[in-house]
Structure 1
Amino acid sequence: MTAFDRLRQLLDLFRTPDGGKGSRRAKPFRQAAAAVFRDIGEERELLLITSRDTGRWIVPKGWIEGGENGAEAALREAWEEAGVRGELASAAVAGEYRYIKQRSRRGNVLCTVEVYSINLTDEEERWPEQDERTRKWFTIPEAIGLVEEPGLREVIRDAMQLSAAA
């Protein structure tokens, strides 16, 4: 695939469903993410995990499954991907960002990620995806420096404010 083909493929994600004749864009896929915080003395930390494919640092996130709302999905993803449980700092979304999810078999899709601020209540030694990911706590400035998604960096700042206020 040439660079031009790759660019065209990415632009196709933003095209309107009727070929540009109307004003509606295709609706992005929805995911939920958990910005999990804990306090260690005077320091506030954020939990990051590695992605399965590239090993980059991210927050737990995934698809909102049938019958779930975004907050429930974020709490489930925190458990499955990072082995932590917590309480929502707020039922409101701390922030949103968009990214292009790369899927080799079914094609790339545009995703909107709703991020929920969660205060840690329990951290387990064993969890469903422990053999697939690394988890680690970072200070907020460290976490922001490690996260590559620009939109997620901004949301982390907002989520920290929500979490600290709870």
Structure 2
Amino acid sequence: MVKEKPNSIRTYDKDGFRRRAACLCFRDQKEEELLLVTSSKDREKWVVPGGGMEPTEESHTTAEREALEEAGVRGTLGRYLGMFENKEKKHRTWLYVFIVNELLDDWEDKKSMGRTRQWFSVQEAAQKLSHKPVQVSYLDLLKKEQDMVT
């Protein structure tokens, strides 16, 4: 079952992959605590906020919109981490770092589907995302990036 938002149009690239964007939502610039949301399909599982791009939307706009809709957060969009391909589901996801400035008490997916959110260390988040190998690869890339800096 795929959740469809009213009035949303799925967009695909020339290879037939669905165009998506997502954010790694961090508590602050240190990028040590990551905000995950419960899955729309299974409330016992956690996911990185993200979703499909609208036809006229740029990936960074989608990433910010999805962070607000799914996690109820506003903040500052940081660097672009890369594009991740899920060949099995035929998705291509543009991924950004997002620094959270504001946590809303009520947000769209909390009201419409009872979604919740929680902060995790990056290591805990990797464990919570083990059912989503592509999302674990987001954190692997982040760790590689951080290792290059230190």
TM-score category (smaller protein): 0.7 to 0.9
1:134/1:95 Cα in 2 relative to 1: closer, same or farther (>3 Å)? same
The one-character-per-residue Cα deviations of 1:110-163 (angstroms, maximum 9, x if unpaired) are 11111111111111111111132111110110000010211211212434647x
CA distance in 1, matches of 2:85, 2:47: 13
1:117/1:159 Cα in 2 relative to 1: closer, same or farther (>3 Å)? farther
The one-character-per-residue Cα deviations of 1:4-55 (angstroms, maximum 9, x if unpaired) are xxxxxxxxxxxxxxxxxxxxx9431111111100149x88210100111123
Runs of 4+ in 1 over 6 A off after TM superposition: none
CA distance in 2, matches of 1:26, 1:95: 14
CA distance in 2, matches of 1:125, 1:49: 14
CA distance in 2, matches of 1:52, 1:142: 20
The within-5 A match list for 1:115-154 is 115-131=95-111, 132=113, 133-147=115-129, 148-154=131-137
Matched, 1:96 2:84: yes
Tell me the TM-score normalised to structure 2 length.
0.75
The answer to whether the Cα contact below 8 Å between 1:34 and 1:59 also exists between their aligned partners in 2 is yes
The within-5 A match list for 1:67-106 is 67-90=56-79, 92-98=80-86, 100-101=88-89
Larger Rg, first or second structure (1 or 2): 1
Give the aligned partner of residue 52 of structure 1. 40
Tell me the TM-score normalised to structure 1 length.
0.68
CA distance in 1, matches of 2:38, 2:88: 17
Give the aligned partner of residue 32 of structure 1. 21
RMSD: 2.5
Q: Percent identity?
A: 33
Structure 2 residues without counterparts, runs of 5 or longer? 1-13
CA distance in 2, matches of 1:43, 1:86: 14
CA distance in 2, matches of 1:142, 1:85: 23
1:28/1:43 Cα in 2 relative to 1: closer, same or farther (>3 Å)? closer
Q: Which amino acid aligns with 1:137?
A: W
Instruction: Please report how far the alpha carbon of residue 77 of structure 1 lies from its aligned counterpart in structure 2 after TM superposition.
Output: 0.3
The answer to whether the Cα contact below 8 Å between 1:32 and 1:64 also exists between their aligned partners in 2 is yes
